[in-house]
Structure 1
């Protein structure tokens, strides 16, 4: 697949940014008192269950793949 270098760089930078967000969030969660961390984990579980009941478990992305004839 031929892709311009800027596309790869952009996606690589986006991945790195998301990884930094994840690291920051995990660090902040680890530094919370146990009762607050447990409350957040329980709320997250409730949100995940609510999303599953709505039938959407993945991001709403549009398929733009090319069909070859």
Structure 2
């Protein structure tokens, strides 16, 4: 029996390397696309929250005598 360890063929290492680089590049691109989207959603939520707070404050004032 031949118990010598079999190494990967010569073309396997470039495939592994290129696959790893492709995954890293795609992850990096996804990060740079996701961050501005998260930032924009955060700003939109803050603006919506302030708007609703303002509307609620105005609605509360309208119920009082001598309202707006």
TM-score, structure 1 as length reference: 0.45
Larger Rg: 2
Name the one with the larger helix percent: 2
